[in-house]
Every structure is written in structure tokens, then in C-alpha cells.
């Protein structure tokens, strides 16, 4: 399930109240899902009826490979309004969600044996999608300013020395899933410069851009690169409804042309034509912008609730990120705590979360855990953090005692 509980954890149904797997009443800090209460069901019904009444025969037929034109035009207007970014129809194609956009990029722009670089941590479903392709994944570290560009340069150099071809870097520069970090404007410039120098293709996953709680989102890599060497993925999943399975790809015309002319696009008749008609009707009514504003207000409140709860509990030695948008806060536990051990006890007390190990292509993350705030009420967030902090404190003091006795023992040996 996209951004659901990792497969190694028990099954859990987010909407049925945790009846599955004996986890009734659990607080699932697990789902990076939009809040179901904010899904605009009535408006989608109206938009569907309008689309069908106005253009039913077109909406229910195979569509053009590039996607439904009026929706493409709406998106062109949206990036112009929101970002001052000027693109034309030659720069955009619809896809069945950003997930399919990434799969398409991997299908069309990698060769067997290529390396694909990902951030550490990265979105685990993207890692899984890339692993479906005959490529080797390598990771590049992040710090609190996002991807470490010097580390990328070193990795590229080492791979080049080893004679490996790097097909692209998959990056989520804005409100990153998992870490909630946004790549700074300076780092974006440096990344784009390095990519241009090295001929490195960037696949920019930008699905959280609109969910900005404060300040301004830095320009996209696509914009900074003047469109060259960047494939940018967007989606209606986080700003309207994930079940629509509709997103878009922005890139330079040659790339769009390659995608539009690929076998799948011809075969399927464009990405979800019916849904594209419905979404176009929704957007043309002027409903998307106020809907996004409502989402931002709700998710900001939840982010604030999570940060306030962490601030109040202040589990010893724990560090956490303070996202300016998106769905996720990323915790780092102090030594010698491990997220999976914390999870085992927290789950017994009804709090679930995804430990960091699931989010690294080449290992790491044992001391990390991810707390999404989009899906839980403020009350659940406060209670969940209280329990989590309690477990961390208990395990921390036990670990400290163990470490203390180990130190005492080893110092005895030394003496
Ligand atoms: C970073 C990122 N990219 C892509 C997706 C999936 O997007 P879509 O539903 O458009 O396929 C998600 C969903 O959680 C995500 O977090």
C-alpha cells in the first residue's frame, strides 16, 4: 500500500479502526495518507456528473496519449500562477500518479546495470518501484538542509571511477518523505549545477509542494535548471484524492515526446481519461485552490500538535525535524536506542510507527523513526507521543544503566 505500514508489520486497516491484526484502538503513526475526512466526496460527485453530462462520450473513451487537454491547460496555468513558471503543452503529460511517473522514468531512461541514486532516507515505495527495474540503487546522505551535494559529487566520482553509468538521481527536495526536510535554495543551485556539469538526470518528485505551512517553497529543480535535465513529478494524490490515480510529468519537450510516444501511453489511451475529465471539471469550478487552503490549515494544525507534543515530552536525547510542509516528522533516537526495539514495546502499548530501516536503499536508519501527522487527530497525536516518549525514556534509562555497567566493567578491565 502506498505509504502504508511496511510489509514486515502486522496488517492494519486505517479506515476500519484497526480491527485487522488484533490492533484495535492502536494509534497508527504509519500512514502518509491524506486525511479521509478532507476528501471532497460531494464535490467529486458533482464534478463527475458535470463531466459526464458535458462530455460523457469523450470522457468514457480512450483519450489522447498526452492526457486530457483542458486539464493540461489548467496545470500549465497553475504552475504559472503559483511559481511564475512558464511552460507549454510541449512540457507536460498526465500519468497515473507520481508513482507511475517514476516507473515510466525508470522504464524509459535507464539501461540494465545502471545505477540510480536515491536520498538516504527516501520514500520506500519509490525504492520498491525502482527495484522492479534492472538497476542498482545507491544512496546519498541527507542532513538538515536536505541532500548533501558534496556527498553526491563524491559518489558520482567514485561510480565514474568504477565505470558505472548513473541513469538518474531520484530526489524529493520539498517536504521530503520521509524526513520532512526541504532542500535549501543554495543546495538546489549547487545540485542543479553539479547535475549539469556531470550530465546527471534529476527526477524531482514534487508531490508535497502545495502543502506549505509557512514561508515560501524554494524554486523547483526544474525551474532552476531551465527545464534541462530534470523530470518533475506532480500529483493530485496529496492535494485532492489519492484514489483518483492522477498526476503529471513536467520536462523538456524531447522527454515528454518520448513518454507520450511510449508503448504504454498508446496502449492505455492516456492516463485515466475519465478521471482526468472529472478532475478538470473540479478544477475549472475553482474548487482546487480553496481545497488546498483547507488542507494546509488542517495539516499545519496537526504538524503543530505533533511538534508541541514532542516539545512537551522532550524524550531524552531525541532529535526531530520541523517540517515547513508535507506530512512527516523524522526522529533520531540517541545511542544505544534502536527504533525497532522501541517499536516492539510501543506496539504492545498501542502505538505503531515505521522504523527508519525501511527507508534506506543501502542500509541505515536503525536509530530513526518516521511520524506522519496527516492522518491522525490532534488527540491521537498527543496520546501517541506521550506513549512513545514513555517507551523511549524507559528504554533510554535501561540502555544507560546497561551502558553504565558495561563502562564500569570495561574500566575495571582497563584498570
Ligand atoms: C514522495 C512521494 N512520491 C509519490 C507518492 C505517490 O504519489 P501518487 O499517489 O501520485 O502515485 C507519494 C505518496 O505517498 C510520496 O510520498
The pLDDT score that the predictor gives to residue 55 is 96
Contact 200, 191 (CB under 8 A): no
Cell (9 digits) for 220: 523547483
Atom of ligand 1 nearest to the CA of 242: 9
Å from CA of 199 to ligand 1 middle: 26
Residue 336, C-beta contacts closer than 8 angstroms, at least 6 positions apart: 399, 402, 403
pLDDT, tens digit, for every residue of 360-414?
Answer: 999 999 999 999 999 999 999 999 999 999 999 999 887 644 443 323 222 222 2
Q: To which H or E segment does residue 87 belong?
A: none
The pLDDT score that the predictor gives to residue 266 is 86
C-alpha closest to that of 244 among 273, 209, 219, 223: 273
> Which residue has the least CA distance to atom 1 on ligand 1?
177
Higher pLDDT, 215 or 266: 215
Whole-number percent of the chain with pLDDT over 90: 85
Q: To test the ligand 1 pocket, which listed residue (93, 102, 177) has its Cβ within 8 A of the most ligand atoms?
A: 177
The pLDDT score that the predictor gives to residue 3 is 61
Instruction: Please give the model's pTM, rounded to 2 decimal places.
Output: 0.91
Atom of ligand 1 nearest to the CA of 100: 11
Å from CA of 335 to ligand 1 middle: 32
d(CA 222, CA 71) in angstroms, rounded, equals 20
pLDDT, tens digit, for every residue of 238-253?
Answer: 999 999 999 999 999 9
Å from CA of 105 to ligand 1 middle: 15
Å from CA of 32 to ligand 1 middle: 9
Query: Phi and psi for 329 in degrees, rounded to 5?
Result: -115, 140
d(CA 103, CA 129) in angstroms, rounded, equals 6
Atom of ligand 1 nearest to the CA of 327: 16
Å from CA of 207 to ligand 1 middle: 6
Query: Phi and psi for 212 in degrees, rounded to 5?
Result: -100, 120
Å from CA of 174 to ligand 1 middle: 12
d(CA 84, CA 289) in angstroms, rounded, equals 16
Å from CA of 366 to ligand 1 middle: 24
Residue 81 to residues 218, 239, 241: CA-CA distances in angstroms? 15, 16, 22
* Cα-trace Rg, the chain: 22
d(CA 101, CA 133) in angstroms, rounded, equals 14
> Which residue has the least CA distance to atom 16 on ligand 1?
177
Atom of ligand 1 nearest to the CA of 123: 1
C-alpha closest to that of 374 among 124, 27, 34: 34
Cell (9 digits) for 172: 524529493
pLDDT reading at 15 higher than 70 = no
pLDDT, tens digit, for every residue of 96-109?
Answer: 999 999 999 999 99
pLDDT, tens digit, for every residue of 257-284?
Answer: 999 999 998 888 899 999 999 999 999 9
Kindly give the pairing relationship between strand 230-235 and strand 136-143: unpaired
Q: To test the ligand 1 pocket, which listed residue (234, 237, 245, 272) has its Cβ within 8 A of the most ligand atoms?
A: 237
Pocket of ligand 1 (CB under 6 A): 2-3, 32, 97-99, 123, 172, 177, 205, 207, 235, 237, 242, 247
Å from CA of 209 to ligand 1 middle: 12
Cell (9 digits) for 75: 496545470
Residue 391 to residues 338, 342, 351, 399: CA-CA distances in angstroms? 12, 7, 10, 12
Read off the pLDDT band of 184 (50, 70, 90): very high
Instruction: Write 142-145 long-range contacts (CB < 8 A, 24+).
Output: 142/176, 142/179, 142/181, 144/181, 144/321, 145/181, 145/183, 145/184, 145/187
Query: Phi and psi for 351 in degrees, rounded to 5?
Result: -125, 125
Higher pLDDT, 164 or 2: 164
141 - beta bridge partners? 120
The pLDDT score that the predictor gives to residue 4 is 55
Mean pLDDT, range 294-317, rounded to an integer: 96
pLDDT, tens digit, for every residue of 20-79?
Answer: 344 567 999 988 888 899 999 999 999 999 999 999 999 999 999 999 999 999 999 999
Amino acid at each position: 500500500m502506498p505509504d502504508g505500514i511496511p510489509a514486515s508489520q502486522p496488517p492494519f486497516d486505517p479506515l476500519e479502526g484497526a480491527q485487522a491484526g488484533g490492533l484495535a484502538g492502536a494509534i497508527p503513526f504509519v500512514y502518509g495518507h491524506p486525511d479521509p475526512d478532507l476528501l471532497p466526496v460531494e464535490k467529486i460527485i458533482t464534478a463527475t456528473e458535470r463531466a459526464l453530462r458535458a462530455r460523457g462520450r469523450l470522457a468514457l473513451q480512450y483519450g489522447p496519449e498526452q492526457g486530457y487537454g483542458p486539464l493540461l491547460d489548467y496545470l500549465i496555468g497553475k504552475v504559472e500562477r503559483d511559481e511564475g513558471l512558464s511552460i507549454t503543452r510541449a512540457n507536460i503529460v498526465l500519468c497515473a500518479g507520481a508513482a507511475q511517473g517514476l516507473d515510466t522514468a525508470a522504464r524509459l531512461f535507464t539501461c540494465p546495470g545502471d545505477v540510480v541514486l536515491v536520498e538516504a532516507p527516501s520514500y520506500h515505495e519509490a525504492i520498491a518501484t525502482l527495484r522492479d527495474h534492472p538497476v542498482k540503487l545507491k544512496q546519498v546522505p541527507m542532513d538538515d538542509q536536505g541532500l548533501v551535494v558534496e556527498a553526491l559529487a563524491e559518489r558520482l566520482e567514485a561510480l565514474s571511477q568504477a565505470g558505472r553509468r548513473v541513469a538518474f538521481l531520484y530526489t524529493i527536495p520539498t517536504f521530503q518523505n520521509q524526513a520532512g526536510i526541504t532542500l535549501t535554495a543554495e543546495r538546489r543551485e549547487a545540485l542543479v549545477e553539479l547535475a549539469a556539469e556531470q550530465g546527471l538526470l534529476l527526477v524531482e518528485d514534487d508531490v508535497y509542494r502545495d502543502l506549505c505551512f509557512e514561508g515560501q517553497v524554494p524554486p523547483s529543480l526544474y525551474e532552476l535548471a531551465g527545464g534541462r535535465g530534470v523530470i518533475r513529478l506532480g500529483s493530485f494524490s496529496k492535494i485532492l484524492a489519492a484514489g483518483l490515480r492522477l498526476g503529471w510529468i513536467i520536462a523538456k519537450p524531447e522527454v515528454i515526446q518520448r513518454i507520450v510516444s511510449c508503448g504504454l501511453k498508446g496502449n492505455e489511451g492516456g492516463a485515466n481519461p475519465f478521471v482526468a475529465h472529472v478532475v478538470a471539471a473540479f478544477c475549472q469550478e475553482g474548487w482546487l485552490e480553496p481545497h488546498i487552503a483547507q488542507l494546509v490549515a488542517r495539516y499545519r494544525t496537526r504538524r503543530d500538535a505533533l511538534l508541541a507534543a514532542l516539545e512537551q515530552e522532550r524524550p531524552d536525547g531525541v532529535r526531530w525535524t520541523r517540517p515547513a510542509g508535507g506530512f512527516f516528522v523524522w526522529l533520531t533516537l540517541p545511542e544505544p536506542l534502536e527504533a525497532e526495539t522501541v517499536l516492539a514495546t510501543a506496539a504492545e502499548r498501542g502505538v505503531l510507527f515505521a522504523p527508519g530501516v525501511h527507508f534506506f536503499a543501502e542500509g541505515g536508519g536503525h536509530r530513526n523513526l518516521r511520524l506522519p501527522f496527516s492522518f491522525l487527530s490532534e488527540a491521537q497525536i498527543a496520546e501517541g507521543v506521550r506513549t512513545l516518549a514513555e517507551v523511549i525514556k524507559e528504554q533510554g534509562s535501561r540502555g544507560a544503566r546497561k551502558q553504565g555497567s558495561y563502562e564500569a566493567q570495561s574500566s575495571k578491565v582497563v584498570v
